[in-house]
Amino acid sequence: MTVTGYCVKCKVKGHPMKDVQMTQTSRGGFMAKGKCTDCGCGMCAMKSKDDAEKLVKSGEAKKAY
């Protein structure tokens, strides 16, 4: 399961991210932050608590909260 998101610069949905970090928002939600594999622009994607824990456990994302 690769972490994907929307790249504003490339205008592509479901684009893979690199250097992904899971952060927690001030309202308690979870967000995956990373870089676009093509242009290097910052990307983010909202995730559920279960998805966030799975990504951290599998090693695809670093825990940053």
Q: Is 15 helix (H, G, I), strand (E, B) or coil?
A: strand
Number of H-type helices and E-type strands within the chain:
1, 5
**Contact between 52 and 30 (Cβ < 8 Å):** yes
Percent of the chain with pLDDT strictly greater than 90:
80
pTM for this prediction:
0.83
Ranges of each domain in the chain = 4-63
Tell me the CA distances in angstroms from 48 to 8, 16, 39, one per residue in order.
Answer: 22, 18, 27
- pLDDT band of residue 56 (cuts 50, 70, 90) is very high
The per-residue pLDDT for 1 is 63
Read off the pLDDT of residues 11-37 as tens digits, 9 standing for 90 and up.
888 999 999 999 999 999 999 999 999
